[in-house]
Structure 1
Amino acid sequence: MRKVLVTGGAGFIGSNFVHYLIENTDDHVTVLDKLTYAGNLASLEGLPEDRFTFVKGDIADASVVEPLVAASDVVVHYAAESHNDNSLHDPRPFLDTNIIGTFTLLEAVRKHGVRYHHISTDEVYGDLELDDPQRFTEHTPYNPSSPYSSTKAGSDLLVRAWVRSFGVRATISNCSNNYGPYQHVEKFIPRQITNVLTGERPKLYGAGLNVRDWIHANDHSSAVLTIVEKGVIGETYLIGADGEKDNKSVVELILTLTGNPADAYDHVVDRAGHDLRYAIDSTKLRTELGWQPRYQDFEAGLAATIDWYRANEAWWQPQKAATEAKYVAQGQ
């Protein structure tokens, strides 16, 4: 039985990965999570006690991290401060978690010789023009545009340096925007879904022309497991499912799928430094490691996600009022 330490495993994509491991492997999974506002123990309910352990702690605390790493065969590092709006309001937590936290984990895996996989984002590459035929590849230069994306870029570079300087057995993946169960209601898709479910009108930044490359969280999880098991040490792999959609189209599809007029939304002030377009070329992952996404129909995946939020109001409702109050205060 492989022992896997998942940092940030009570967050959105981390918790989806934990469920994926439990359902598709024989691994024992230990989750290390600080349980900030974005971490939710309810996302891990029902997991078998003989294969799952939860530890509350900070990835920047070496006294917590080191014994957990020493007892593990693999570390998969999801934990991050990850919301652009929050990083614009208060950048410091992003430095503490994304830079110092990653450093702390790297020192622990270096000391104990443990395999390490680093979860990152396509936002480290900046953005593309809406009409640019190119997509991000593993060779695209880094050009982050927010405190969030710049700290993620910095953490990626730390991993590369620890591989080259100290021989750490690490890989990196940069993924496009995820959607699916267990995503905090501050994020774009669950905010719009839960607005509709509570009788509120969805909110669209600016004209809604910004394009994101959407991937279902289960496809992200399967890609990460593929990289952990087959990836070449020191390599970076981009994860994407060819799901480019502009924000306006996503909002209109949510409204249509819930039986509402497609134009029943409000425009709100755009976010500062809002990236225009992200687009992932995952050819390397598909050709070299044989991975393929399962959820290639975005509309079907979005419909299933809406159904999950409709059936799990007890999970998201406690977060909703405070989240919307914050956005209202920001004019969004």
Structure 2
Amino acid sequence: MTANNTMVTEFILLGFSMLKEVQPLLFPLFLLMYVVTVAGNVCIILTYNLIANLHTPMYFFLANFSFLEIFYVTSTTPNMLSNFLSDHKAISFYGCVIQVYCFLLLAGTECYMLAVMAFDRYNAICRPLLYTVIMNKGACVKHVIGSWSIGAINAVLHTVLTFSLPFCRSNQINHFFCEIPSLLKLSCQDTWINELTTFTAAGCIMIGSFILIMLSYIQIISIILQGNLGSGRKKAFSTCTSHLIVIAIFYGPGIIVYFRPKSNYDSSQDAIVALMYTVIAPLLNPFIYTLRNKKVKLGIKKIFCQKTRH
């Protein structure tokens, strides 16, 4: 940290300041969304662990994705909830550092976890005879570790670069959490290196993983158009639509925020857009995956039936 950084001991989060009068009413709404998100993802993890016939690569990745989502939504939502009820909507300097690191770690990991899940569906549909060989237990674990490693490297890089800047213009962030584009606006130093790094890394993480996902689905769609999809692979393809919905909700708003020209940057608008990938996407994911997946629904019913019998 530079000496100039000691000028800032906390940041004031101004996100949703335009909705000041209704913020107490927003608290129960977002609290409910947070509780449902955590409960839904915990339910998926428990179902995977307790139902033996779900111990396949697809559900292994889904359980890991749900674990990731719990911490992802927790990195921003609890602080936002406390600020809804507080007149002093602040986060400490080091609290902001931790939030930036955790958010970037989890967001970067999620990008490549979605790519891994698409790769899994590609192998299940396009290479069914080799599926168990390619997606063996060791390979699945390596894919998960690789996703977390990419997220960690991305998070360390951006956190160090961002908080090495002097924040002497203001300590007021026009957002509901510490997000890098909003923080860069507070620095009185030239931030072109940070902006270039953010654009490059976001391109590698978001666009890179998005391209891998699209390549997987192009191959899947080509198999379908050839009419070579047997009954087993038709069942496998039904899970792909759920995956594509999740991808659209997560990537769409993220690309808008991180790849929009700086001249068009508006923190107040970005706070609304950011809700899509920080709160709404994690909330919808358990429903998207369970409501369209018979095995998961049967597994959940089986667990509840066993509980009621005892």
Range class of TM-score, shorter chain: under 0.3
Q: When you count helix as a share of all residues, which structure comes out higher?
A: 2
What is the TM-score when the length of structure 1 is the normalising length? Answer: 0.25
Q: When you count strand as a share of all residues, which structure comes out higher?
A: 1
What is the TM-score when the length of structure 2 is the normalising length? Answer: 0.26
Q: Which has the larger radius of gyration?
A: 2
